[in-house]
Amino acid sequence: DILFQLIDQQVTNEVINVGSGVLLSVNKILEMIKQHYPSFEWHYQTANANDVKRVELDITKLKKRCVISQNNIDNFCKYVLK
C-alpha cells in the first residue's frame, strides 16, 4: 500500500525510509515470516560486542506523503512473502 502511494505520487530521485512507525524486533519479523512459511527455521548465535542492538529508521518524510496503518505492514508482508 505504501509503495503504491509513493508510485502514485511519482516520487523519483528521493530517499524515503519505508517503515510502519512501530519498532519491530528481528524476532517479531522472523515470527511473521514463520506464519507464512511454517517450515522456516532460524538459529541463534552469540552476539558480538560490536553488533548493533537497535535500528530505528526516521520515517518523517514517509508520514508527510502517505497514510500509514497496520494494514500496510500486513499487506507488505503478504506481498513480499508470497
More confident residue, 32 or 13: 13
What DSSP assignment string belongs to the chain?
-HHHHHHHTT--S-------SS---HHHHHHHHHHH-TT------PPPTTS--------HHHHHH----HHHHHHHHHHHH-
User: Is the pTM above the cut of 0.95?
Assistant: no
| Residue 10, phi-psi category: left (phi > 0), alpha (psi -120 to 50), beta (remainder) | left
The whole-angstrom distance between residue 8's C-alpha and the CA centroid of its chain comes to 20
Q: Which tens digits make up the pLDDT trace of 17-68?
A: 887 777 878 888 888 888 878 898 999 999 899 988 888 889 899 989 988 7
Question: Given pLDDT bands bounded at 50, 70 and 90, which one contains residue 9?
Answer: very high
